[in-house]
Amino acid sequence: MNGVIAGISYRALLGRRRIWLLVLLPLVLLGLAVLLRWIGEAGEQAAVTLMQTFAIGTMLPLLGLIAGTGVIAPEIEDGTVVHLLSKPISRPVIARTKFVVAASLLALFGAVPTFAASYLLVGSESGIAYGFAAGALAGGVAYAAVFMLLGIITRHAVTIGIAYALVWEGVVGNFVPGARRFSIQQWAQTVADQVSSSAFLSTGITIGFAAVALLVVTIGAIVWAGHRLRGFSLTGDE
């Protein structure tokens, strides 16, 4: 961890237009929760569906994409990353610091609103709120690591990340059940399922697999990101 790099990364993410997207997504989730409650359909099933489709299925990958790539990709695009890399700071430390920044933002803008929205809907009933908060936190941390790595590897990180989140996790996962085993979103839901006792939430993956996969993917992505930064070559734009 390096405090200065963390501070710069926070400022880059929160001080620009990026923050509007980071704020907008949780606001829509809370708005939907309020609306659902107002319509009078704030049952357990509705809460689980909203959390599955919107909080974990839509908001979390998008936040992961914005925060995960946002900590490093703009610097690479600008070329200002050379100033960072020329300092006598170990590159894996840079990668870890950037990851911690992205993961903390996902916790703040992803897990906390998820908890608030589900608590608004069902209170602490069958642990849904705690379950989805834990799931969003675990999934958000993994998304932050993977998308940060993607931002270092390629200049088209956001597009590839979206294609992964929408096509692989969304479309392919719906038709090919086997693809669900390799989806951060499904692992996050498995964590949520483990904590909550709701009958409406069930996933096809065991918690053992999901937990190990989350850990492996997160740590692997951070280590690989550090490794990539050690031999980083700055290529020209387009």
> By the criterion CB under 8 A, which residues form the site for other proteins?
17-18, 21, 24-25, 28, 32, 35-36, 39-41, 46, 49-50, 53-54, 57-58, 62, 65-66, 69-70, 73-74, 77, 151, 156-160, 162-163, 166-167, 170-171, 238
Least spacing, CB of residue 58 vs other proteins, in Å: 4
Structure-block tokens of residue 81? 């990353």
Least separation in angstroms between residue 209's CB and other proteins is 27
Q: How far is the CB of 47 from other proteins (least distance, A)?
A: 11
Rounded to whole angstroms, what are the CA distances from 2 to 108, 110, 146, 216, 232?
20, 24, 20, 24, 19
- Residue 20 or 208: the one with the smaller Cβ distance to other proteins is 20
In this structure, are residues 110 and 54 in contact, taking their beta carbons and an 8 Å threshold?
A: no
Task: Give 34 or 85: the residue with its C-beta nearer to other proteins.
Answer: 34
CB of 95 to other proteins, least distance (A): 18
- Beta carbon nearer to other proteins, 49 or 104: 49
Give the separation between CA 201 and CA 58, rounded to whole angstroms.
17
The residue among 115 and 164 lying less far from other proteins, judged by its C-beta, is 164
Complex with other proteins: residue 70 or 127, whichever CB lies closer:
70
Least Cβ distance, residue 89 to other proteins (angstroms): 24
| Buried/exposed code over 39-52 (b: 16+ C-beta within 10 A; e: otherwise) | eeebebebbbebbb
* Helix residue ranges per DSSP H, the chain: 3-14, 18-39, 44-50, 60-70, 73-78, 81-85, 91-106, 112-122, 128-153, 157-162, 173-175, 184-195, 207-230
